[in-house]
Structure 1
Amino acid sequence: MNHSKVLLLPGWYNSGAAHWQSLWEAQHGYVRVQQHDWERPLRGDWQIQLEETILARDTDRTGPVVLVAHSLGCILVAAWAAHSRNTHRVQGALLVAPGDAEREELRGQLPSWSPIVRQRLPFPSILLGSRNDPYCGFDRAQGLAADWGARFIDYGERGHINADSGLGDWPEGHALLQTLMQPPA
């Protein structure tokens, strides 16, 4: 299986060493989309970085990529997909614990991320939401999944589904990723 086809899209402040995204990168050789500024993210800049990373992949030879987004990375996928002419290069997306950039306490710190793009994604996607995520209400996560056409998974009370959630290398999430990596029927 071509592991370089998986692109990791961390959220605000990147994913630390104990985060499942970082563990997957180390264990499986997945590619992290690097951003210019993890602390003061600009939506347009992040979209360009994702676009350039996808264009740098030889998808004609290796096949389309699969996106694995966490938090603000989920909002990035929706924004990018609404504007890119290269969505055909994406096979699917695993969207984990979207960060609600429209929340009052986040809007001022992330001004370029509102409003959240709510167009249907042009590729299959799975969104996992937590009932006690401090950065996105459960109903809000369900609404984003519906707007984006994503299969929604209620992941119970797992916080922000990050390193603080005690998931380690998160085998359950990796199993979901494998379903998105299967060739389309």
Structure 2
Amino acid sequence: MFPSPNATVLIVPGLRDHVVRHWQTLLHADLLAARQKVATVPPLDHDKLSCAARLVALDKALLAIDGPVLLVCHSAGVMIAVHWARQRYPGMPQDKVIGALLATPADLETPLPAGYPDRVSLESGGWLPIPREPLPFPTILAASRNDPLASYERAAGMARDWGSELVDLGKVGHLNPAAGFGPWPGATNLLARLQRRH
């Protein structure tokens, strides 16, 4: 089930930006094939660890879209959306973002596995602390029971603080190609649920 075509789905990737076999990349193609309006926040050429630069990129992508938007965020993309909501949403038309799917948020406040930015880099990049205020639009947070980047308990706490509906995905790792995803068919159903809530 796809969301109503009157809304544009805007993909907000994490720090690794665009990965060919990632579910967000595949979702973009599926939505295009279904004649759904869809866009993706483009990758950064510079300042890749700057939260402020990521917020500007999200702002630009939103301003280029006419009509309501559903955000689809993964990993650090969730944190981009949450920081954006706190810092920049007040200056945006209040009916612009009508909901957000927040999939397997990266818990940037706890030590991340090797190959990910360390706490000093995240602090200097403006990512910390994680905002905990309720989000100003409907959200669904989809959490994994064995995510190496966030425990289920921490993700559930974020959902509670943000006022998000919590969806338990079971043991799906970080919901990325390294965990065996690939397509994530459940994303479109959650998006349709979000739009019905709006």
What SS does the aligned partner of 1:25 have?
Answer: helix
Select 1:41's aligned residue among 31, 46, 49. 49
The one-letter amino acid paired with 1:45 is A
Letter in structure 2 aligned against 1:51: D
Q: Distance in 2 between matches of 1:161 and 1:39?
A: 26
C-alpha contact (below 8 Å) 1:135/1:160 kept by paired residues: yes
Match of 2:87 in 1: 83
Instruction: Say yes or no: does 1:26 pair with 2:29.
Output: yes
Change (3 A) 1:147 1:183: closer
User: For the structure 1 residues 87 and 147, does the alpha-carbon distance in structure 2 shift closer, same or farther, using more than 3 Å as the test?
Assistant: farther
State how far apart, in whole Å, the 2-side matches of 1:31 and 1:86 are. 18
Number of residue pairs matched by the alignment: 180
In 2, Cα distance between equivalents of 1:109 and 1:175: 36
Provide the residue aligned with 2:110 in structure 1: 103
Letter of the structure 2 residue corresponding to residue 90 of structure 1: V
| Paired residues of 1:81 and 1:87 also in contact (CA < 8 A) | no
Deviation at 1:108, TM superposition (A): 2.6
Counterparts in 2 of 1:51 and 1:14: CA distance versus 1, 3 Å: same
Identity of aligned residues (%): 38
Q: Which 5+ residue runs of structure 2 have no aligned equivalent?
A: 33-37, 113-117
Whether contact under 8 Å (1:97, 1:160) holds in the other structure is yes
Q: TM-score, normalised by structure 1?
A: 0.89
1:37-62 CA-partner distances (Å, limit 9, x unpaired):
48832111101111111112122xxx
- Does the Cα contact within 8 Å between 2:103 and 2:141 map onto a contact in 1? yes
Q: Greater RCO between the two (CA within 8 Å, min separation 6)? A: 2
The alignment status of 1:161 with 2:155, answered yes or no, reads no
Of Structure 1 and Structure 2, which has the larger fraction of its residues in helix?
1
1:130 pairs with 128, 133, 144, which one? 144
Once residues 51 and 39 of structure 1 are traced to their aligned partners in structure 2, the CA distance between those partners, rounded to angstroms, is: 16
- Per-residue deviation at 1:183? 7.2
Alignment RMSD: 1.9
Instruction: Identify the residue that residue 142 of structure 1 maps to in structure 2.
Output: 156
Structure 1 unaligned regions, length at least 5: none
Normalising to structure 2: TM-score of the pair?
A: 0.83
What SS does structure 1 have at the residue aligned with 2:132?
Answer: coil
Equivalent AA in structure 1 for residue 56 of structure 2: I
* Corresponding residue number in structure 2 for 1:115: 129
Which residue, 165, 179, 184 being the options, matches 1:151? 165
**Residue 72 (structure 1) shift:** 0.2
How much has 1:161 moved relative to structure 2? 1.1
| CA shift in 2, pair 1:141/1:47, >3 Å | same
Partner of 2:100: 93
C-alpha separation in 1, matches of 2:128 and 2:86: 14
